[in-house]
Structure 1
Amino acid sequence: MVGRRAIIFHGTGGNPDVCWYRWLAGRLTARGYAVEVPHHPGINIEPIATFLPKVLDEHDFDEQTVLVGHSGGAALLLAILEQLDVTVAQAILVAGYCTPPNTELEPVLQPEYDWAAIRSNVRDIYFVNSRKDPYGCDEHQGRAMFERLGGTQIVRDDGHFGDHDQPYERFELLDRLIA
């Protein structure tokens, strides 16, 4: 058995070296996790129908896997969770969304989701959103997912939890949420 594993998916236009991703990876590594912080430049650029199979092929998922996604990476987690053939330990969607949050194109979103499949493929799910998200990835988006999937919704007033104009180098809450 591989042991505990975590995969942290960056957001649209992001990369593994922005905001809190490497900090969280370091914290989890110190706790014994095997951590991946992949670079997927196609997130929310390439249509999900062609992008998702590539992502699924590049990663292994098992009962001890923790998935963390930020913004477009959180939206990607919905599609990943829908397709898994295993129930992962946790999923944390930070500034996530399941419908278009603004007027921009959102190729990471699917036209519809199998919410029951998503729910059956994750033991513990969290939605962390902000009332002050400049892109519309706000508490209403988190609530829409929470109402379909259950889990835990956490609402803060922390912008987008990291962005080009919002340094967010540490994210203590995530470190505490991950078992």
Structure 2
Amino acid sequence: MERKAVIFHGTGANPDVCWLPWLRDRLTERGLAVEVPHYPGLNVEPIDTFLPKVLARHTFDAGTVLVGHSGGAALLLALLQHLEVTVAQAILVAGYATEPNEGAEPVLQQEYDWPAIAAHVNDLIFINSPADPYGCDDRQGRAMFDRLGGTLIIRDGGHYDDTDAFELLDRLIG
């Protein structure tokens, strides 16, 4: 089975920001097929109409690794809930499941089926910082971890959007 990774950017971002191109290149060098789609409608369009477009555009299987940053990490919760397969790994960087600040968050579902999310991923990792300026902080990571299990990494790093490389991600992807 071919291993592949799908890397989702955050709100208002694109595939060429921060560490996304670096991670794409690292994973490609390791032999993974890598997709880094551009979704301008992420966290603009309501999740109920946005998610079907994402599900239709990609294929997922037992060899798939999902990585999401910020709004892309929040998207992974809905994605995992609605998959019909179990993926190998999902890493949520600066993720959140409730509104992290005063802004609207159309990427969030009203409710989550936490057991369904957990059932659709073999290895689930959350990376959050206590000093996230947008509220995607360690409390958000703890709340998801408490519901889903997996691995929670609390590490200073703000919103993890001010670096061109993210060595920890490369090491975590099995």
TM-score normalised by length of structure 2: 0.99
Deviation, 1:79, is 0.3
- Structure 2 Cα separation of the partners of residues 72 and 154 of structure 1: 18
Deviations 1:62-101 (A, max 9, x none): 0000000000000000000000010000000000000000
The CA deviation at 1:152 is: 0.2
Q: Distance in 1 between matches of 2:91 and 2:163?
A: 17
Cα distance in 1, alignment partners of residues 4 and 70 from structure 2:
21
1:85-124 per-residue CA deviation (whole Å, 9 max, x = no partner) reads 1000000000000000000000000000000000000000
1:45 to partner: Cα distance: 0.3
Provide the C-alpha distance between the structure 2 equivalents of 1:39 and 1:22, rounded to a whole number of angstroms.
12
Q: Which amino acid aligns with 1:174?
A: L
Three-state SS of the structure 1 residue aligned to 2:6 is strand
Superposition misfits of 4+ residues, deviation over 6 angstroms? none
In the other structure, the counterpart of 2:129 is: 130
Match of 2:168 among 155, 169, 173: 173
Counterpart position of 2:42:
43
What one-letter code is carried by the residue in structure 2 that aligns with 1:128? I
> How far is 1:157 from its partner?
1.1
2:53 aligns to what? 54
SS at match of 1:124: strand
Instruction: Give me the identity figure in percent.
Output: 70
Task: Return the letter of the residue paired with 2:148.
Answer: L
Gaps of 5+ in 1: none
Shift of 1:147: 0.4
**1:18-29 maps to which residues of 2 (within 5 A)?**
18-29=17-28
Amino acid at match of 1:74: A
Amino acid at match of 1:139: D
What is the DSSP-based 3-state SS (H/G/I as helix, E as strand, rest coil) of the residue aligned with 1:170? Answer: coil
Q: Note the aligned Cα RMSD (angstroms).
A: 0.5
Q: Structure 2: 5+ residue runs without aligned partners? A: none
Instruction: Give the distance between the partners of 2:19 and 2:38, measured in 1 at CA.
Output: 14
The 2-side partners of 1:22 and 1:57 are apart by 24
Q: Deviations over 1:32-51 (max 9, x none)?
A: 10000000011100000000
